[in-house]
Every structure is written in C-alpha cells, then in structure tokens.
Amino acid sequence: MSSSSSIAAPGLAHPLTQWIDLALKTQEMLLSSGSVIRMRTERIAKAGLAPSADDLAEFQLMGHEKLAAASESGMAMARQWHSTHLSLAGRVLQQWVQGTTAFFLLAGSVTPTQAAAHGDALAQSAAGTVSAASQLSGLAVHIAREGLAPIHAAATSNARRLADLEA
C-alpha cells in the first residue's frame, strides 16, 4: 500500500475515483495510526513510573505532532474551502443571472423564433447550472484530501520511524 502511488492528482476525472482514492489514503493513515498507537502505548507501559530521557522526549513529541498536524490540517482545509467556495459561488451566481435572464426573455417572447432562441438559451443555462453543481463532489473531496494530507504524513512517517526504533 504505497502512499505515493495512491495519492490522487487534483484533476482526476470521475468523482467516484476521487472518493475511492481518498478512502484508500484514509485507510493507510488509519493503519499507520494504529501501529503508532500500539508502539507508543507499549513504550509508555515499559517506561512505567521512571521514563528515560528518550521516553520523555518521545512523549512530548506525541503531543506536539498531534497539535501541529491538526492545525496544519485545519488551515489547509480552510484555505481550500475559501478558494473553491469563492470560485464556485461566482460561477453559481453567474449561472443564476444567466438562467433568470433567459427565463424572462423566454416569457417575453413574441414570435416562435424568439421563443425557440430564448428556450435554447434557457436550456444552455440549465446545463451550465448542472455542470456547476456537479463540481461540488470534486470540490468536497479535494478539501478533504487537503485536510487529510498533514495527518496522513505525520501518521505514516511516525509508523516508519517507530518501526525502525523497534527493529
């Protein structure tokens, strides 16, 4: 289960593929977290009431890493949400104005030719609205991926580092 080969590029075409890729990355992070929790719990139990300087350093590192990863994750999701939200909001507003205009032009059509042209404009606008709405899933998975990245990185690197210490 290689992390680098399963990380999706932001441009994956199909939303289901994006969500599956995110699920695989989450699974890898959860498996790594389980290993880290096991190794650190064993270390705490072995240290008992008299932890060594190395034990104390590792215990302090635990808290620092969790706070750093959670903070980085939250900031990454906020940045991604902010940029994609503004972009999508602008597109949705544009589609709404186009749709409203097309609807009123269709309603005010006097001739069959005008009605056909305005009806076509309304259909084009509706298609654009559907296209904008269909991007929501991709944006959501991208935000989730951005938020998972720092936690995934911390969990997998800790699992490798602690496994090397045990060996």
Residues 6+ apart with CB under 8 A from 83: none
- The CA distance from 132 to 127, in Å, is 9
Task: Identify the weakest region by mean pLDDT among 6-15, 23-32, 152-161.
Answer: 6-15
Query: What's the pLDDT at 126?
Result: 87
Task: Identify the weakest region by mean pLDDT among 52-56, 66-70, 131-135, 160-164.
Answer: 131-135
Query: What's the pLDDT at 13?
Result: 61
Ordered by start, the domain boundaries in the chain are: 29-166
Band the pLDDT of 159: cuts 50, 70, 90.
Answer: very high
Query: What's the pLDDT at 166?
Result: 82
Radius of gyration of the chain (CA): 25
Per-residue pLDDT of 96-150, as tens digits, reads 888 889 889 989 989 999 999 989 999 998 888 887 777 777 888 888 999 999 9
pLDDT above 80 for 15:
no
